[in-house]
A and B are shown apart, each in its own frame.
Chain A
Amino acid sequence: SQQGEEDPQALSIQEGENATMNCSYKTSINNLQWYRQNSGRGLVHLILIRSNEREKHSGRLRVTLDTSKKSSSLLITASRAADTASYFCATDKNYGGSQGNLIFGKGTKLSVKP
């Protein structure tokens, strides 16, 4: 079962524009992570935000986390055609106290047109 739900499911923008993707989740978390996947190949870890953090930056990426609303957003600024990919948020699932197993949301497919 999915823990996270991304919104929108698909996003098409022009190069240079900003892209914002949202993620909602259901249970309490220790951290929330964002991953990128090109053309159905392996996933690449982009950024991790801890439950006690509200915002984090990495290059052109900005992630926010609102634990009261159980939601996160990923902002990609000044997008490039090479940013075209699927983006997934992922949270950990609690197995009776054993945590740390990532469960992925449905993903947002981002298309950046030159």
Chain B
Amino acid sequence: DTEVTQTPKHLVMGMTNKKSLKCEQHMGHRAMYWYKQKAKKPPELMFVYSYEKLSINESVPSRFSPECPNSSLLNLHLHALQPEDSALYLCASSHRQSAIANYGYTFGSGTRLTVV
């Protein structure tokens, strides 16, 4: 299995809702990432998990809460989002969080989130 699977593919939520995005990989990768991508912009790094521990938080607002229950799963819990949080949320994984390893990332297809 060489894929990163993200669910749901589309999500519409109100500003008072609580929802979760899910990401799963079975490639044995030990680094997992959340990126946010606005229309016509590059992906922006949000969080990095390395060996199931939060390694990097790119000053993301607390209304986004990541969770890594095990080495194959990565969740992003959403609460009290704003319309400007509407974007494509991409999950990715790599063998390790290390540039020395020189690995490419494997990305999921993303969840297109609309906050109303």
List of A residues within 8 angstroms of B4 by Cβ: 42
Instruction: Give the distance in Å from the alpha carbon of A56 to the alpha carbon of B45 in the complex.
Output: 27
Q: B99 at interface (Cβ–Cβ under 8 A)?
A: yes
For the residues of A in contact with B, the DSSP-based class is: strand
What residues of B have a CB within 8 angstroms of the CB of A103 in the complex? 45
Q: State the CA gap A82–B67 with chains docked (Å).
A: 37
Could you tell me if A101 and B97 are in contact, using CB atoms closer than 8 angstroms? yes
**Inter-chain contact total with CB atoms closer than 8 Å:** 75
Chain B 1-15 residues near chain A, CB threshold 8 A: 4
> What is the interface of chain B, defined by CB distance below 8 A to chain A?
4, 31, 33, 37, 39, 41-45, 48, 55-56, 88, 90, 92, 94, 96-110, 112
Q: Is A102 an interface residue (CB 8 A)?
A: yes
Q: Which residues of B are found within 8 Å of A18, using beta-carbon distances?
A: none
A interface vs B, CB < 8 Å? Answer: 2, 29-31, 33, 35, 40-45, 48, 50, 88, 92-93, 95, 98-107
Q: Do residues A44 and B107 form an inter-chain contact, with CB atoms below 8 A?
A: yes
Q: Quick check: B45 and A102 within 8 Å, CB to CB?
A: yes
